[in-house]
A and B are shown apart, each in its own frame.
Chain A
Amino acid sequence: MVTTVTSFGRNGLSDWLIQRVSGVVLLAYTLFILWTVATGVDYASWKALFDQTWLKVFSLMALLSLVAHAWIGMWAVLTDYLTERLMGTTGNVLRLILQLLIALVLFVYMVWGVQILWGY
């Protein structure tokens, strides 16, 4: 049986709500970036856009949403397929290792993103 200790909010309802809110933020950000790219950008206008505080805030919001959204989503997938019921003890070990790897990757995305937003 899968335990909830590794879920994002330690609680299914809180995970559900965070998943929805972060999903809406990510959709809004994706549409905004797509719209910006589709209307045509050169380096100067693109850089000027990302120099503005409101877009740094929006980007950071999207980045945090991505981390939470991906964690909850990957948790749901892993706890459904890599389980003790399906794979025995191996499932538990494999799931925990993958969850730690996912956490590491998401942490890298986070720090890298902050570096991009405030570093250049």
Chain B
Amino acid sequence: MGVIGKRVAYYPGCSLEGAARSYDVSTRIVAKELGLELDYLEDYNCCGAMESKNVTFMGTMLLNARNMSLARRQGHNVIVAPCNGCSFSLQRAEYFLETDRAVYDRVNALLREGGVDPLDQIPQTYHILEWFYHEAGPQKVKERTRKPLRGLKVANYYGCLYTRPHFYARTYAHAGGQDEEARPRKRETADDDEHPYYMNALLEAAGATSVEFEPMHTQCCGGPHSLSDELVSEKFVMMILQTAKRNGADIIATECPLCHASLEMYRHRLMMKGVPDVDVPAAYFTQLLGLAFGYSVGDVKLKDNLSDPIPVLKKLGLA
């Protein structure tokens, strides 16, 4: 532990300041309780998410390089992002900047042209879950827990990009083929690529029980298509929700605003259609940790969740 640093640049991304503000608010609460410090990245721009990269390669490199440059200006070597899409985009840019000299030079020239400081160094990006796990860890969570989540059965949903692909996230446990030297850089903080467990560990430390959720825990929610290909998204979300429900979950814990939105939107649609076993609500893992640390439903903004997890939590006496 203590590999990443207690004070980091915080890249919230667009959705955390919009519809997913509950994630932002609860993240700040958890960080504060765990004795960690987030330095808000001033005047950041969108990372391009999963969409822009299909339209333009260089454009997405530039979008992310600009954010990296802002972090460098604020004196940081580490950026932490709470969204799978954002951390993927930043890590992807990191990968190409590091492994392709031509891309690096071009990006720096273009940054200068656009009135942004070129990159003297490429900052590292971590998902906020990795940061919580490595800088504070289950032990600290246990110490801080005042109202344990006793009796709460959680399906921990990581989504696809938290551990994938290994080139960007540098999770190599099971990935085949590449020998040690061919890997750009191994990361000691990375979660297990096929069986991620950081969220399980933190929530269990707060008193919750994890339910069996493989292989749906890293199955895609159809997020990038949630507005353009409703049928695929709906099917994927159905598989996720039914697996959770049938394994006895009270709630799905999420760590990505895109996954969260997709789950909530399509849960509603599926329920309207009368599909069975899809009524598990979703909450950000930080909201659950916040509750365990003694904060109220209002503090962690549980009312913002469209899938409404409050009744379930009330029934167990947790809210």
Is this pair of chains taken from one and the same complex? no
Please list the residues of chain B having a beta carbon within 8 angstroms of any beta carbon in chain A: none
